[in-house]
Amino acid sequence: MKTRHFALWLLLALAAGPLQAATAAELPGDSVYRLADTYTDQAGRDFRLADGRGEVRVVAMFYTSCRYVCPLIIDSAKGVEHALAPDERARLHLLLVSLDPARDDPAALKQVFDKRRLDADRWTLARTESAGVRRLAAVLGIRYRPLADGEFNHTSSLVLLDGEGRILARTETLGSVPDPAFVAAVKAALAKPAG
């Protein structure tokens, strides 16, 4: 997404919701971490996006009852992981946030987490309230809409964030063979010193 478009999305999202007061002044103006919604992970722990400050993250949005595209989103993130050297892989964090907070409670997230054998040190499946979903989707450039049958029509993207929560790259390439340009961006972000 172009910088000025991202700035507009971020401004609109921030105007519609809470701002991380304690760190907002210290964060860059284009940081996704300026969103202050509370998230709950697959283990029932609450956190805010800014809690991951200093970590390179790949972020995506999905929902647990999806049978087709969302499993491919997880496969895509795993493909990025497998394209990295072990020391790079150990420093990459992956966050998948549910588009369906009404049904995706921590137990539903944990079931997918366990079924997909995700690494608890680096992977987080999370939910937030509907307004927080809208704000995060807006700043990440992910479009979605609920369908009458309970499914969601949504953009399937992996978004790379630097340690300050700024968007560095995105890909919509799905499957276990990752987008080479996205992998290169992940490697470059991991090569930079933290902070």
pLDDT tens-digit series, residues 121-158: 999 999 999 999 999 999 999 998 888 887 777 889 99
3-state secondary structure the chain: CCHHHHHHHHHHHHHCCCECHHHHCCCCCCCHHHECCCEEECCCCEECHHHHCCCEEEEEEECCCCCCHHHHHHHHHHHHHHCCCHHHHHHEEEEEEECCCCCCCHHHHHHHHHHCCCCCCCEEEEECCHHHHHHHHHHHCCCEEECCCCCEEECCCEEEECCCCCEEEEECCCCCCCCHHHHHHHHHHHHCCCC
What pLDDT sits at residue 3? Answer: 46
Beta pairing class for 158-161 and 167-171? antiparallel
Phi-psi region of 55 (alpha: psi -120 to 50; beta: other; left: phi over 0): beta
For the cut 60, the answer to whether the pLDDT of residue 113 exceeds it is yes
pLDDT for residue 159 is more than 50: yes
Domain count for the chain, please give it.
1
Contact 105, 127 (CB under 8 A): yes
pLDDT tens for each residue of 5-48 = 444 444 444 444 555 444 455 899 999 999 999 999 999 999 99
pLDDT digits (tens, 9 = 90+) for 34-83: 999 999 999 999 999 999 999 999 999 998 998 888 989 999 999 999 99
Cβ–Cβ < 8 Å for 168, 185? yes
Q: Which domain holds residue 154?
A: 3-191
- Residue 97 maps to which CATH number? 3.40.30.10
pTM of this structure: 0.85
Q: 194 falls in which pLDDT band (50, 70, 90)?
A: low
